[in-house]
Amino acid sequence: MMRRLILPILLSACVMGAASCSKDEIPGDPDGTAILNMYNEENGQTLLSDSDIYIDNAGNFVSPSSCQLFMLGRLSGLGAVKASTLKNPAPQVAVKTGYGYVAVRGAAVRRFPSQATAMSLDPDLGVNYLKFYVTELLEDASENSLGAVVKFTVAQPRNYWLPAWGSTPYVLDCTSKALGDTVSVTLPGDDFEADFDGQGYLSCEKQGRRLVFRLLDWPVRGGGYTHQATLRLRVGESYTEVRVEFLY
């Protein structure tokens, strides 16, 4: 469970002593950055914050049950770890010096048709996630692996311009439409992805900044009715789930 990360971070990191917790003054490190000596499973199996992430004896970050891990490649530091494009989640990823990572609770993410993974903006979930970065490997005098020195911090998915979770921001007037006709709405930007469940009555296509809905069938014959469908919108690492209401 990663929901209660913020307070335990500094406590769990600092109890390991001055060698394990210090403020790195290198510009670009986010506020709240902590440093942790993560010893592998053979040498104490240090957990990253209050997650279940540890380093196994093969040199991998492992999350047995709660987190999806994303390896972002070689980066300049923790400040360069961005979650705007998350793909290829895995239960374990290799520990490499100079590499950045993101960890998210599995229940908090959804994979979109593009295969991008995004985090829920549902306020009831209170989603946050870990950003971490390997500064160096830990070895004993015989160069046997002990683990790694890891910088980490907690972040929250940004809201961008996405409408509030569970709201009904789009109402489509189809009262004068025939089957096959379209109606569209214009969004604040074109950097979004849509995942729409029209239940066989509406289809949805992204065209630049517009969402274009096509009327496929009537839920009930005759006019004077409303019907709702579910729309999920993703921008960067975040997604919202809203309702589209159409009048017919």
- Kindly tell me if the per-residue pLDDT of 26 is higher than 90: no
Q: How far is CA 25 from CA 33, 78, 133, 152, in A?
A: 10, 12, 15, 14
105, 201: one domain: no
pTM confidence score:
0.84
**Boundary (domain end) residue, out of 155, 181, 198:** 155
Query: For position 50, what pLDDT does the model report?
Result: 87
Q: How far is CA 79 from CA 18, 83, 153, 247, in A?
A: 22, 11, 10, 47
- In angstroms, the CA 236 to CA 193 distance is 9
Which pLDDT tens digit goes with each residue over 128-183? 999 999 999 999 999 999 999 999 999 999 999 999 999 999 999 999 999 999 99
What is the pLDDT averaged over residues 192-205?
97
Amino acid at 222: G
Q: Strand runs (DSSP E) across 97-181, as ranges?
A: 99-105, 109-111, 117-120, 129-139, 145-155, 170-173
Domain presence at residue 164: no
15, 121: one domain: yes
Domain presence at residue 160: no
Domain extent at residue 191: 170-247
- In angstroms, the CA 193 to CA 101 distance is 23
141, 226: one domain: no
**Boundary (domain end) residue, out of 123, 155, 187:** 155
What is the pLDDT averaged over residues 41-52?
95
175, 219: one domain: yes
121, 220: one domain: no
Q: Is 173 exposed, middle or buried (0-12, 13-18, 19+ CB in 10 A)?
A: exposed
Query: For position 5, what pLDDT does the model report?
Result: 36
- Kindly tell me if the per-residue pLDDT of 22 is higher than 80: no
